[in-house]
Amino acid sequence: MQRFLGSITNIEQAEARLQGFFDLALDMVCFLDVRWRILKANDYWHVNLGYHPDALVGTSITELMDPNDVKANQHVADNLKDTDSVHGVITRLRHSNGQFLTFEWHLYKMGQVLFASARDITDRLALEEKLELVSTRLRLANEGAQIATFEWNLISGEHFWDEQMYLLTGIAKSGEPLNIERWVSCLHPEDKPRTMDAVREATEQGQDLELEVRAIMPDHSIRYLRVLGRVHRNAMGWPEKIYGCCWDVSEPKRLEFAWEKTRKELESFSYSVSHDLRSPLRGIVGWSQALVEDYGDHLDEDGKQLLERVKAEALRMGLLIDDLLKLSRISQKEMVKIKVNLTEVSRRIADRLKEAHPEQLIRFVIETDLVTEGDAEMIEVMLTNLLGNAVKFSSKRREAIVEVGQTVATDQRPVFYVRDNGAGFDAGKARNLFGAFQRLHRQSEFSGTGIGLATVARVVNLHEGSVWADAKVDEGATFFFRLKH
């Protein structure tokens, strides 16, 4: 009798331990019979799927599963005939609200009963799918842009390179371990010292890598590479890894070198124009003047007028050369962007124009607080041309009125303008208004070289802006411009 009572006590203790395990488990756990019917389930079935454990007793797991998963997992029963456990079985179970959630199962054979635990992995799978999508997009973007990626473990010294990194550096895959020395070995000798300096700063001080180096390819050609690396620190704040990328900048470098060569050729050409062409022009003017002074008594009025025309055209050619040189210098100048007060610049130009044209009555109306960003010298050249044109084409008015201000264009964005009350022009015939040597008035009406508005357009284009005009014959003109900040 004592032995029988002890057995009952042992059974009760085992059941208590089992119930305690059921209550403490953080996954859905249950016992199943050979027909996959639930014999006992814990409360997490209610938490995860909305079913009360007692209501599930006698229900076959297959009734809750997605029908496709039932067919796909028929092999599980066969596997359990030959082994005591099966792990990692993925199925979708129907929630009480009709939604299907994904679970990962672990099954253990215990005589005629199966013990099963299931964990909800719906959110994990969704996250893995998003990560895979991001990874795929990043990989495709890198392949399309031919950007290589690398990882450098600063603790172990190990390197990881993707396929593109080998292609860019010209280093062949081999059994040799990847390390910083192997990478530096492919660089131009002149680039190795500063590369190693940057590497030391990264490893010792945690400085990010930012380099432009020359890699020598197996065929001895040179490839320019841009390298960026960001330091990852551990919980203690120590540099632990460097994640980086590398891409080929050889083509931009070649264009840069070509542009530098062209710029020097333009400087040489400008020098030649400035010196070689001016000399014969000065000769034409000088000899024409000498001819008038020494032989003027032998020339009739028509002859004298022709010589004066020769002088005038030579002088105009000199002005044209000056304007062309200015246009050339604008194109070659390195742009330095700062905050520019257009009001102050316009007032300075207005004072100069009044001094240059004392015989002309000119009234300038310049708004206050006109501010933009750009190259100050270029902007002054642009405004000098715009205001100079406004004064010139208003010279036949009793009073020339030149306005400088800001308004809102048809695209609802702010725009600056220079307006005059001068001769104006037919806007329909002004298709090439901002081209070099384009003139809308005869030389006899208004003098000029036809370079001023081309210079304006060049300055605006260098600032990635836009310029346009609105005018009517004999009703003045307005020039609008906008510079990109």
* Residue 303, domain CATH: 1.10.287
Work out whether the CA dihedral 15, 17, 18, 20 comes out positive or negative: positive
472 and 341 within one domain: yes
Considering the domain architecture, whether residues 429 and 342 belong to the same structural domain is answered as yes
* pLDDT exceeds cutoff 50 at 4: no
Residue 160 CA, distance from chain mean position: 27
Phi, then psi, of 233 in degrees rounded to 5:
-105, 150
What pLDDT is recorded for position 462? 86
CA torsion, ordered 230, 235, 236, 237, to nearest 10 deg = 20
Q: Where residue 1 falls among pLDDT bands split at 50, 70, 90?
A: very low
One domain, residues 46 and 116:
yes
Do residues 357 and 462 both lie within one domain? yes
CA distance 105 to 199: 49
Select from 37, 70, 69 the least CA-distant residue to 56: 37
Are 241 and 181 members of one domain?
yes
Answer yes or no: do 344 and 322 share one domain: no
Under 8 Å between Cβ of 367 and 407: no
Q: Are residues 345 and 468 in the same domain?
A: yes
Which stretches does DSSP call E strand in 81-158?
Answer: 85-94, 100-110, 113-120, 147-153
Counting every residue, how long is the chain?
A: 485
Q: What is the per-residue pLDDT across 444-483, written as a single tens digit (0 to 9) for each?
A: 566 666 677 888 888 888 888 999 988 888 888 999 999 8
Answer whether residue 10 shows pLDDT above 60.
Answer: no
Domain count, the chain: 4
Q: For residue 438, what pLDDT is reported?
A: 66
- Proportion of the chain above pLDDT 70, given as a percent: 82
- β strands within 278-413, DSSP E: 337-341, 362-366, 371-375, 400-408
Instruction: Name the residue with higher pLDDT: 49 or 235.
Output: 49
> What is the pLDDT at residue 315?
73
Residue of higher predicted confidence among 314 and 91: 91
Q: What is the pLDDT of residue 144?
A: 62
CATH no. for residue 48? 3.30.450.20
The verdict on 423 and 442 lying in the same domain is yes
Check whether residue 26 and residue 97 sit in a common domain.
yes
Specify which residues 120 forms β-bridges with: 103
Does residue 444 lie in a domain region? yes
- Over residues 55-114, the pLDDT tens digits come to 999 999 999 999 989 888 888 888 888 888 999 999 999 999 999 999 999 999 988 889
pLDDT tens by residue, 113-145: 899 999 999 999 988 888 887 777 777 766 666
Q: Which of 288, 315, 332 is the last residue of a domain?
A: 332
> Is residue 133 included in any domain, yes or no?
no
Percent of the chain as helix, strand, coil, to the nearest 5: 45, 25, 25
Confirm whether 130 is domain-assigned: no
- Domain coverage including residue 310: 254-332
Please indicate, yes or no, whether residues 234 and 262 belong to a single structural domain of this protein: no
Mean pLDDT of all residues belonging to the chain? 82
pTM: 0.46
Residues 347, 349, 352, 357: is their CA dihedral positive or negative? negative
- Give the whole-angstrom CA distance, residue 108 versus residue 94: 23
pLDDT digits (tens, 9 = 90+) for 423-442: 888 777 666 777 665 666 66
Whether 317 has a pLDDT exceeding 50, the answer reads: yes
Q: Among 248, 266, 282, identify where a domain stops.
A: 248
Which of 78-87, 195-204, 223-232, 281-290 comes out lowest in average pLDDT?
A: 281-290
